[in-house]
Amino acid sequence: MIARIWSGESPVWRLLLPLSWLYGLVSGLIRLSYRLGLKKAWRAPVPVAVVGNLTAGGNGKTPVVIWLVEQLQQRGIRVGVVSRGYGGKAASYPLLLSNDTSTAEAGDEPVLIFQRTGAPVAVSPARREAVQALLHAHDLQLIITDDGLQHYKLARDKEIVVIDGERRFGNGWWLPAGPMRERASRLRSVDAIIVNGGIAQAGEIPMQLRPGLAVNLRSGERRDVASFDNVVAMAGIGHPPRFFATLESCGVVPVKTVALADHQALTQASVSALVNPQQTLLMTEKDAVKCRGFAEANWWYLPVDAIMTDERAQQLLTELVTLAQR
């Protein structure tokens, strides 16, 4: 229903316009207050690059963060990541992630980033505190924030926006009538625009998500995903149909698809109920980090990697390296 409203297919969005106008007014005043100097943003002692989006829902932001971290690490840059930690609740903040940190504490995306990259990661609703905790514990040259484009309390040196190339901006209206946190005109002031799938427009960096080998949650065995049959597919991400479409592009036709809410908490009982012992459960890597502690033998996940070969992506990396080395 939300997808139909935000796309403009359902006329219900018109009834929500007064709330959208209020949302737009408040968010616009907040940003204006920082631009005019009425409110002061805190500037970290090292450069900060924000990876965020203009819309609610999944856009492929986390794969971009992982790609940036890995590319910068390969270039010798000491980089850390901060996040709000949505979906988690720690006993206290800021929380520095370790191998023992659970998704219930830190949220699924920070744990995924930490496990994939090995980079220092800290979470806190107050991102300034997360940055300070990282810098107290590590000698870093650059901080990347996972989300936080609209968190103007933290000054930034680079703004990178990720767009879903298939859905783009829906009907173009602010929440709740549309998907927008900020209107599309905000793109004129950011440093880079990365488009996940679809067709990139002039000045945008095209990105594709490339699936790898399926990984067994319990044993770590890797296998071509096309070798599975009798598959139940599960996705608790911002836009589950993207994962199901990825499986189909790999030759997998699930007997059942289960779309869960983004960041939804998972238990052994709730996940086990989705599949019988003769079936294979295929999930996203983001779901897998929440299930590793109670995984069963027939549970697998499909990792995806961001692929950006455009020269503008290389230019963005060069600019970030220059920032980090200044």
For the chain, which residues make up each domain, given as ranges? 2-208+307-325, 213-302
Residue with tokens 């998500």: 209
Query: Could you give phi then psi for residue 85, rounded to 5 degrees?
Result: 80, 40
Is the CB of residue 143 less than 8 Å from the CB of residue 44? Answer: yes
Whole-angstrom distance, CA of residue 197 vs CA of residue 209? 8
Q: What pLDDT is recorded for position 271? A: 96
Q: What pLDDT is recorded for position 57? A: 77
Beta bridge pairs of residue 284: 302
Q: What pLDDT is recorded for position 77? A: 98
Whole-angstrom distance, CA of residue 82 vs CA of residue 125? 10
Q: What pLDDT is recorded for position 101? A: 96
Domain 2-208+307-325 CATH superfamily? P-loop containing nucleotide triphosphate hydrolases (3.40.50.300)
Q: What pLDDT is recorded for position 238? A: 84
Whole-angstrom distance, CA of residue 29 vs CA of residue 154? 17
pTM of the prediction? 0.93
Instruction: Give, for 138, the enclosing helix (H) or strand (E).
Output: none
List, in sequence order, every beta strand (DSSP E) within 147-244: 158-164, 192-196, 205-211, 214-216, 222-223, 231-235
Q: What pLDDT is recorded for position 10? A: 82
Q: What pLDDT is recorded for position 232? A: 97
Whole-angstrom distance, CA of residue 84 vs CA of residue 61? 14
Q: What pLDDT is recorded for position 294? A: 95
123-161 confidence digits (pLDDT tens): 999 999 999 999 999 999 999 999 999 999 999 999 999
Q: What pLDDT is recorded for position 193? A: 98
Query: What own/partner pairs with CB < 8 Å and gap ≥ 24 does 8-15 have?
Result: 8/170, 8/171, 13/171, 13/173, 13/177, 13/178, 14/177
- How much of the chain is helix, strand and coil, in % rounded to 5? 35, 20, 40
Written as six digits, the tokens of 111 are 């744990």
Whole-angstrom distance, CA of residue 235 vs CA of residue 221? 21
Kindly give the parts of the chain with pLDDT less than 70.
1
Whole-angstrom distance, CA of residue 256 vs CA of residue 83? 33
